């Protein structure tokens, strides 16, 4: 699985002008499933997200996790993370999982995250979404879970 993790002061995802998910400080996580991905990888992604120490401690070092600081998770499906632009100017998305598999794995990520963390918001799989965020730092971390 591919994820792009952004530490945010706040973030919101909307569909057709209506906010469907919103958090204060925490992590905005864009998630893309690839064809070989499994539920075990989805669970490992959530484990990594919850333990990722990218929030400052009292000394200002990145030493705290989203759980340590009581932050939220806003998890949004994003198949374009699998874009391949090596062959020309138009991206190919053949590296992304087929829609049914991608949706199932995205829903697994959401289910596991909600079981393990009290504040989880989400986008809508396959929808035309708009995301607003204030990146904190900025801190943006790409992750690949194999």
The residues annotated as belonging to the active site are 78-80
Report the distance separating Cα 119 and Cα 111, nearest Å. Answer: 12
Give the torsion sign (CA, 36, 41, 43, 48).
Answer: negative
The Cα-based distances of 20 to 34, 55, 65, 128 in angstroms read 25, 25, 25, 12
Contact yes or no for 84/91 (Cβ under 8 A): yes
């Amino acid at each position: 699985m591919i994820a792009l993790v952004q530490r945010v002061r706040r973030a919101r995802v909307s569909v057709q002008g209506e906010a469907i998910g919103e958090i204060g400080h925490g992590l905005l996580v864009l998630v893309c499933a690839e064809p070989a991905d499994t539920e075990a990888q989805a669970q490992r992604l959530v484990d990594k997200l919850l333990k990722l120490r990218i929030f400052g401690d009292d000394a200002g070092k990145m030493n705290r996790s989203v759980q340590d600081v009581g932050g939220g998770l806003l998890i949004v499906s994003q198949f374009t993370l699998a874009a391949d632009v090596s062959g020309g100017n138009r991206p190919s998305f053949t590296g992304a999982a087929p829609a049914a598999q991608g949706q199932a794995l995205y829903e697994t990520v959401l289910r596991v995250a909600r079981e393990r963390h009290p504040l989880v918001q989400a986008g809508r799989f396959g929808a035309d979404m708009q995301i607003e965020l204030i990146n904190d730092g900025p801190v943006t971390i790409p992750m690949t879970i194999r």
